[in-house]
Amino acid sequence: MTTRQVRLNQARQVSNRLYDRGLRVFPDGTTRITVERDPVPRYAKAGRGAYLEDVDGNRLLDLNNNFTTLIHGHAYAPIVEAVASQLACGSCFANPTEYEIKLAELLVDRIPSVERVRFVNSGTEAVMFAIKAARAFTGRPAIARIEGAFHGAYDWAEIGQAGTPLTWGPPEDPLPVPLYAGVPASIADDVLVLRLNDIGGLQRLEDAADRLSCILIDPMPSRAGLIAADPEFLTALTESARRNGVLVIADEVLNLRQGFQGASARYGLTPDLVAMGKIIGGGFPIGAIGGREDVMRVFGTRQAKGSLPQGGTFSANPVSMLAGSIAMQALTKDEFDRLEQLGNQVRAGLSEVIRRHCAAFSVTGAASLFRIHPKEQPPCEFRQAFCNKAEAETLMRLHRHFLASGILLPNGAAASLSTPMGAAEMNMIVECFDDFLSQANQR
pTM of the model: 0.95
Distance CA 362, CA 357 (A): 12
Lowest-confidence pick of 198-207, 305-314, 425-434: 305-314
Q: What would the mean pLDDT of 347-351 be, rounded to a whole number? A: 98
At the top level of CATH, the class of 3-71+333-442 is: alpha beta
β-partners of residue 414 are 371
Q: Please tell me the predicted confidence (pLDDT) of residue 303.
A: 64
Burial degree of 338 (CB within 10 A; 0-12, 13-18, 19+)? middle
Q: Please tell me the predicted confidence (pLDDT) of residue 1.
A: 44
Q: What would the mean pLDDT of 390-414 be, rounded to a whole number? A: 96
Q: Evaluate if residue 202 carries a pLDDT over 80.
A: yes
Of the pLDDT bands very low, low, confident and very high (cuts 50, 70, 90), residue 6 is: very low
Q: Evaluate if residue 8 carries a pLDDT over 70.
A: no
Q: Please tell me the predicted confidence (pLDDT) of residue 319.
A: 98
In sequence order, what are the residues at sequence separation of 6 or more whose Cβ sits closer than 8 angstroms to the Cβ of residue 25? none
| Residue-range domain boundaries for the chain | 3-71+333-442, 77-330
Q: 85-92 contacts: CB < 8 A, separation 24 or more?
A: 86/318, 86/319, 86/322, 87/319, 90/318, 91/317, 91/318, 91/319, 92/313, 92/314, 92/317, 92/318, 92/319
Of the pLDDT bands very low, low, confident and very high (cuts 50, 70, 90), residue 441 is: confident
**Predicted confidence (pLDDT) per residue in 105-130, tens digit:** 999 999 999 999 999 999 999 999 99
**Predicted confidence (pLDDT) per residue in 56-82, tens digit:** 999 999 999 999 999 999 999 999 999
Q: Is residue 39 reached through a cis peptide bond, with omega within 30 degrees of 0 on the bond before it?
A: yes
CATH of 77-330, one of 2.170.130.10, 3.30.300.30, 3.30.470.10, 3.40.640.10: 3.40.640.10
Distance CA 379, CA 201 (A): 18
